[in-house]
Structure 1
Amino acid sequence: MPRRGDTRSRVWIPITSIAVALLTALSGCSALNGSSNNPSGGGSGTAGPIEKPKLKVGLLPVVDVAPLYQAVEKGYFKEQGLDVEPIVLASGPKAVESVISGEIDIAFTSYPGAFVAQSKGVANLKIVADAYAARPGHLALVATPNSTIKKPEDVAGKKIAVTSKGSISDLGVMSVLSAQNIPVDKIQWIPMTFPDMGPAMKAGNIDGAVVAEPWFTRTAKEFGAMSIVDVSSGPTADISMSGWAAMDKVTSANPNSFAAFQRGLAKGVADVKRDRTVLEPILITHVKIDQQTAPLVTIADYPERADAIRLQRVADLMLEFKVISERLDVSKMLLEPSTN
């Protein structure tokens, strides 16, 4: 009569054979569905081959874009079969112009820039991913000690610098002030670059400026600037600020490429959200913040996905202050995230 141990030996051999066969079959399936790092095969987790393995991404040297640099440096896009090339541009409007002309595939932009182009029919854009959402201390109207602006009520009728008119900077300030019944129609908005704002305030050429980090911290350190109006407060608390946009015709022609971009970027977002020590070296290297200032910079939120309700607040704000002439349904612009 056979022992119990003999029975186990007889069963073990066929199970091992089945396991080897299954592993071989699974390996074959992986090769067929392109789950390797070969760009032509689609990269890890894609549903099909990558149609456009190289993507040119236009951006600005601001804290908003840190997750993209993290994804590039850690090889998260490479894992997806993509070669992502960051291209630093002069301004948000330039990024939108470049994505419309086809010079770049994806543009980092403040939402008003993308929504104006969409509303006017200049372009049919898709929001590929969210980039940044406001938190207290990130974007504010500031004034230096020599300014006549000491409190929000003093802003009415003054010269205030912004990077561009019709942006989240002036719209946000007007929204906060209007909620306090402070007149905003006589404010003189002066377009100016962030580096020029501090010296202009010190010289008395402007009364205040709307600055985003790291310039909020820099103007405080270098010129003694103080916050007068926090843009992320009251009606604009937690409002969406910037995102990654592409032409609809490009995303439609290359769905696997853009799904791969979303997955790679999501890993970069997870890294910088989780660990400030991961974020600060990126700010120093790519945003050109000095080592002493980097730990002081207030960081807002890197959303994990675009939220139609939060983005709609931006478009509605633009309508309120007549930047666009009719309501824009932002939900139609969102590129659905990959589920693979």
Structure 2
Amino acid sequence: MKIHRRHFLKFSAGAALAVIAHGCTQGQTASSANSDSENPGKISVGFWPVASGLPLFVAVKKGYFQEAGLDVEAVRFASPNQVAEGIIAGRLQGTGNGVASGALGLAEITSPGLFKILAANPSNAQFLLDQVIVAKDSPIQSVADLNGKRFATGPGAQNKAIAEAILTAAGVTEPRVQQLEISQHVAALESGQIDAAYTLEPTGTVGEMKGITRILENGVVAKYILGDAMAPWFGGAAALSTQFIEQYPQTTKTYAEAYRRAILDIRNNPDEARQYLTGYTAIEGELVQKVPLVNYTMYDEFTPADVAYFQKFFDFMTDKAVFSRKVDVAALLYAPA
């Protein structure tokens, strides 16, 4: 299958709920998962090393997949784009949370019917991920104060579109957006290279811990693009390839329930679950306990309002020409056979 890399190389994303706990928390037995008719072998799941990928890390390290009779390999990639490419190429059977929903949307456009979403990771003003930061002693007090200021965002079409939309919605008439690797945002603010940045956690927490930056506002995508600071921005998602789901329907159900166990662990005991960030991400030491965590919504927990907000974000991507066509979110959600 031909991979249209240009769609991904120009794209970079940031990457993740208070919902009803599902009663079925235990994975199915090894015998049911690996029956004579279903023997998937090793299941390779790609992840981007960010905090919102936590459910995959928990499920692997606590043995939930193994208990369910599944051989799951978590495969690290440098960007969500690379994870999406791996699904298209057939090298991966799935993705962990934190893989940018925009990257997955582009993959769907490139290869229609490619995957189904098992869980998404929304953020907003309560569950923190996206933010605008400034230097600690900056006189800037609101996003509206950024008129004519040098405003950085991460590389890629999605980040640029989001940054410009945030400024426009705040009434900034002279946006000066420049693209800069997220890992460089704190240093660029300290040196005076930029005045503010649209960035992603743990950047804001790291900058504050070092006494270099402060968070001007959290949940900026929900507020300025979705229109409500408490709206869920589904910026990342965990998925399985449609080919895998169709070939191994019972194994898929078993995988989903093992994944659900990990999400319930994070909801019920987030402080205990945080330890599994170590080794999978660059988050270590004191930062493990301080970095904010996003929320998670399983495929069967989406409300009509959730779907509508997810669709609103994807429609924004289409309006800004990041997506070449409309992508139907409801059709992307996993529905067990």
Q: Say whether the fold is shared (TM-score over 0.5).
A: yes
Change (3 A) 1:224 1:322: same
Residue 170 of structure 2 aligns with which residue? 180
Asked if 1:189 corresponds to 2:178, the answer is: yes
Q: Post-superposition shift, 1:262?
A: 1.1
Compute the displacement of 1:114 (Å): 1.2
Question: 1:327–1:279: structure 2 CA closer, same or farther, 3 Å change rule?
Answer: same
Larger radius of gyration: 1
What residue is the counterpart of 1:25 in the other structure? none
Counterpart-to-counterpart distance in 1, 2:120 and 2:265: 14
Q: Is the 8 A contact 1:198 1:223 kept in 2?
A: no
Q: What's the counterpart of residue 315 of structure 1? A: 314
TM-superposed CA distance for 1:71, in Å, is 1.0
CA spacing shift, 1:190–1:176, aligned 2, 3 Å: closer
Shift of 1:285: 4.0
The change in CA–CA distance for 1:211 and 1:268 in structure 2 (over 3 A counts) is: same
SS in 2 for 1:86: strand
Q: CA deviation at 1:103?
A: 2.0
Segments of structure 1 that go 5 or more residues without pairing to the other structure are 1-34
Q: CA deviation at 1:63?
A: 1.3
TM-score (ref. length: structure 2): 0.77
Q: Does the Cα contact within 8 Å between 2:61 and 2:276 map onto a contact in 1?
A: no
Q: What count of residue pairs does the alignment treat as equivalent?
A: 295
TM-score relative to the length of structure 1 = 0.76
Structure 2 gaps of 5+ residues are 1-27
Structure 1 segment 118-133 matched on structure 2, within 5 A: 118-119=108-109, 121-133=110-122
Q: Distance in 2 between matches of 1:85 and 1:99?
A: 14
Partner residue in 1 for 2:291: 297
Work out whether residues 163 and 177 of structure 2, in 8 Å CA contact, stay in contact via their aligned partners in 1.
Answer: no
1:225 and 2:205 equivalent?
A: no
Residue 99 of structure 1 and its aligned partner are, at CA, apart by: 1.5
- Aligned mates of 1:49, 1:260 — CA distance in 2: 15
Following the alignment from structure 2 to structure 1, what is the Cα–Cα distance between the partners of residues 139 and 104? 35
CA distance in structure 1 between the aligned counterparts of 2:147 and 2:46, rounded to whole angstroms: 36
Following superposition, the deviation at residue 267 of structure 1 comes to: 0.6
Q: 1:129 deviation in Å? A: 1.6
Please state how far the C-alpha of 1:146 moved relative to its aligned partner.
6.4
Q: Secondary structure in 1 aligned to 2:297? A: coil
Q: Does 1:77 align with 2:65?
A: yes
CA distance in 1, matches of 2:315, 2:252: 28
Q: What is the distance in 2 between the residues matched to 1:247 and 1:158?
A: 43
| Correspondence for 2:46 | 58
Q: If each structure's helix is expressed as a fraction of its own residues, which one has the higher value?
A: 1
Choose which of 128, 131, 134 in structure 2 pairs with 1:143: 134
Displacement after TM superposition at 1:317 (Å): 1.8
Instruction: Return the structure number with greater relative CO, CA threshold 8 A, min gap 6.
Output: 2
* Range with bigger deviation, 93-102 or 148-157: 148-157
CA contact (8 A) 1:58 1:88 kept: yes
What's 2:76 paired with? 88
